[in-house]
Amino acid sequence: MSAEPRINDRIRVPEVRLVGPSGEQVGIVPLAKALELAQEYDLDLVEVAANARPPVCKLMDYGKFKYESAMKAREARKNQAHTVIKEMKLRPKIDPHDYDTKKGHVVRFLKQGDKVKITIMFRGREQSRPELGYRLLQRLAEDVQELGFVESNPKQDGRNMIMVLGPHKKKTEAMAEAREAQAARKADAKAHPGRSQNSADEAPAEAPAEA
């Protein structure tokens, strides 16, 4: 069946329950009368409830209605946020500097409203010390608890141990904040176009070198 409603001459019923252009109830009228009114108003007769008895039809500008519906659907798709699952891999005996770097990535992902799958990779004899991976995952979860929570507790998966962190902030909220921050930066740059240049001009000149 087509998703398009029947309009004008495509409507094949003896009578309809008619709704006017402003949403007012006209009542049950013969189809011929409804089509006549549509012509008078220079509008379309659109079947909006085909399963009703009799079917409900409305007088409207169908072309304009389709355009506005398409624009609303497009805007909804544009604003729709898909939560992405990022992945971060660590070793049980990770170097402190590497840990801070990895944690920084996790923080960034959570701020963006994305989930993060943390994988601890065990090699060789490390497989006999799963508590090392468990403690590392607990430490990471505590370090980022202001931004995310443990959505899936640590569990062993072959040679790996996996934990999933979920963001406290929804993806839509993160996207909105990012757009606001970007707009604020643009507004600031527009309001102070020569800020960086002026700062350079105002810097004291270096004293000439002595001969």
Residue written as tokens 């430490």?
139
* Closest of 29, 34, 30, 54 to residue 46, by C-alpha: 34
Tell whether the model's pLDDT for residue 197 goes beyond 50.
Answer: no
DSSP3 helix / strand / coil % (the chain, rounded to 5): 45, 25, 30
Task: Encode pLDDT of 67-106 as tens digits.
Answer: 998 898 888 776 665 667 899 999 999 999 999 999 999 9
Compute the C-alpha angle 93/105/160, nearest 5°.
40
For 51, the token pair is 């399963």
Q: Return the C-alpha torsion angle 173, 174, 178, 184, nearest 10.
A: 40
Q: What percentage of the chain has pLDDT greater than the value 70?
A: 85
Going along 11-158, which residue ranges are E strands?
15-19, 25-30, 44-49, 56-60, 85-90, 115-121, 148-157
Task: Give me 26's structure tokens.
Answer: 């006209």
Q: Which of 139, 141, 148, 138 is nearest to 114 (CA)?
A: 148
Is residue 180 within 8 Å of 187, Cβ to Cβ?
no
For residue 209, what pLDDT is reported?
A: 41
Residue 113 has a pLDDT of 87
- List, as own/partner pairs, every contact residues 173-181 make where C-beta atoms lie below 8 angstroms and the sequence separation is at least 24, other chains included: 173/113, 174/111, 174/112, 174/113, 175/81, 175/113, 178/112
Per-residue pLDDT at 125 exceeds 50: yes
Distances (CA, A) of 88 to 94, 145, 162: 13, 17, 10
Quick one: pLDDT at residue 200? 44
Lowest pLDDT segment from 39-48, 123-132, 138-147:
123-132
